[in-house]
């Protein structure tokens, strides 16, 4: 049996024992004593205390016994229990703490002093598939909140039909007035079948990559007829024009019902309001333009109106009755050369 002498002095500065150690070392050296017989100073560092001991050479396990420090399940000690002591050795005891391994909606709790994520996962008997993601990484330390997340990464395939846009073709049509466009045939979109490789993390899609693309149906183009005709016959008269447009036409006369109580009988451009004056949106038909309006006859764009915007005109008559008779109608307007 070995005869031990030790002191356990919690939280006592190690420095207090340094002179003693120096003396012992000096004596030991001078006397030529073998190292194994000399005294050693060691310190045990545990989370709740620090213990300073002066011992004969021994093992870590014996030193812990002398200090009455026991290890519980999951606790660890460094260096390991069978390590031979050395003078100045620091023995570190780490107490087990709970680590929570969260995988999907499952939580496993492991009591361990191990701080390496990969080793904790081994202790928790969590088997990782090659694609699985661990947060923090398996070579990292368990974070202060003791939580490790294992994200299951899986792959799947999704096939979707996507539309291919159609082109628009224009065809000249000499039976249609210049400036007018008709839809001859509506286009139809094509179909392309696209297969994607989809990445899921815990069942939720995080990304997708195109794997294949097969055309199922070609698009058919939209065909527009573009008018080229520049002459029409009206009442036995040939009318040559630059372009035609289709507008909604209303009618008015110089009266106060049509033009308001303060109307002075003159238009925006200063000409008297009378038959042959057409109110226009100058952005569509510039003021001063000579026109022929189907059902009305020749006229000049010489007036404007707050309600006359876009594809709208207002044709002026001499009498209120004529204006009422016109009402509101969709007509072709020919912009004359
Ligand atoms: Zn009127």
pLDDT tens-place string over residues 263-275: 777 887 778 889 9
Q: Torsions phi, psi of 27, nearest 5? A: -60, -50
All structural domains of the chain with their residue ranges: 14-94, 97-151, 157-226, 230-336
| C-alpha 251 to ligand 1 mean position (Å) | 8
Ligand 1 centroid to Cα of residue 298, in Å, is 20
pTM comes to 0.54
Measure 255 CA to ligand 1 centroid, in angstroms: 4
Contacts of residue 302, defined as CB under 8 A and 6 or more positions apart, other chains included, come to 267, 268, 269, 271, 277, 278, 279, 287, 288
Domain 157-226 sits in CATH at: 2.20.230.10
* 241, 220 Cβ separation under 8 angstroms: no
Tens of pLDDT, residue by residue over 113-146, are 888 999 999 998 888 888 899 999 999 999 999 9
- The strand pair at 290-293 and 297-303 is best described as antiparallel
Overall average pLDDT of the 283-294 stretch: 97
CB 324 within 8 A of CB 276: no
Measured in Å, residue 96 CA sits from the centre of ligand 1 at 99
Proportion of the chain above pLDDT 90, given as a percent: 72
Distance 246 CA to ligand 1 centre (A): 24
Coil, helix or strand for 17? helix
**CATH number of this structure's domain 14-94, picked from the four choices 3.30.110.30, 3.30.1330.10, 1.10.1040.10, 3.10.20.30:** 3.10.20.30
Angle made by CA atoms 305, 327, 238, in degrees to the nearest 5: 85
- CA 303 to ligand 1 centroid distance, Å: 15
* Average pLDDT over every residue of 66-91: 92
Q: Show the tokens assigned to 255.
A: 């009266």
pLDDT of 14 higher than 70: no
- Between the CA of 267 and the centroid of ligand 1 the distance, in Å, is 14
Q: Decide if 87 contacts 35 (C-beta within 8 A).
A: no
Domain 230-336 falls under CATH 3.40.50.20:
no
Q: Report pLDDT for 84.
A: 94
As given in the structure block, the two tokens for residue 26 are 């000096």
pLDDT digits (tens, 9 = 90+) for 180-195: 999 999 999 999 999 9
pLDDT at residue 143 in the model: 95
Check pLDDT > 70 for residue 7. no
Rg for the chain, CA atoms, rounded: 49
Classify residue 270 as left (phi > 0), alpha (psi -120 to 50) or beta. Answer: left
Say how many Å lie between the CA of residue 332 and the centre of ligand 1.
Answer: 23
Q: For residue 258, report the distance from its CA to the centre of ligand 1, in Å.
A: 4
Question: How many whole angstroms from 257 Cα to the centroid of ligand 1?
Answer: 5
């Amino acid at each position: 049996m070995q005869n031990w002498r030790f002191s356990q002095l919690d939280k006592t500065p190690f420095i207090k024992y340094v002179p003693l150690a120096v003396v012992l070392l000096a004596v030991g050296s001078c006397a030529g004593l073998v190292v194994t017989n000399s005294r050693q100073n060691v310190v045990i560092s545990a989370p709740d205390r620090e213990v300073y001991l002066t011992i004969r050479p021994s093992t870590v396990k014996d030193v812990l016994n002398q200090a009455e420090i026991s290890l519980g399940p999951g606790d660890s000690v460094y260096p390991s229990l069978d390590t031979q002591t050395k003078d100045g050795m620091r023995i570190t005891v780490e107490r087990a703490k709970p680590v929570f391994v969260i995988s999907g909606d499952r939580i496993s709790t492991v009591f361990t002093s191990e701080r390496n994520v990969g080793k904790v996962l081994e202790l928790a008997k969590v088997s990782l598939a090659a694609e699985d993601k661990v947060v923090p990484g398996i070579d990292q330390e368990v974070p202060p909140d003791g939580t490790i997340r294992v994200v299951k990464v899986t792959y799947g395939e999704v096939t979707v039909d996507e539309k291919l846009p159609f082109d628009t073709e224009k065809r000249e049509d000499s039976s249609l007035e210049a400036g007018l466009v008709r839809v001859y045939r509506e286009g139809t979109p094509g179909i392309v079948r696209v297969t994607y490789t989809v990445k899921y993390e815990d069942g939720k899609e995080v990304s997708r990559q195109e794997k294949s693309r097969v055309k199922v149906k070609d698009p058919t183009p939209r065909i527009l007829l573009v008018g080229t005709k520049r002459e029409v016959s009206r009442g036995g008269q040939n009318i040559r024009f630059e372009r035609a447009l289709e507008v909604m036409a209303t009618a008015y006369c110089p009266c106060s019902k049509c033009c308001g109580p303060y109307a002075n009988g003159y238009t925006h451009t200063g000409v008297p309001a009378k038959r042959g004056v057409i109110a226009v949106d100058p952005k569509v038909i510039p003021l001063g333009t000579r026109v022929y309006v189907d059902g009305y006859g020749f006229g000049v764009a010489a007036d404007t109106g707050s309600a006359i915007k876009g594809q709208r005109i207002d044709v002026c008559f001499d009498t209120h009755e004529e204006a009422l008779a016109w009402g509101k109608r969709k007509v072709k307007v020919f912009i004359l050369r």
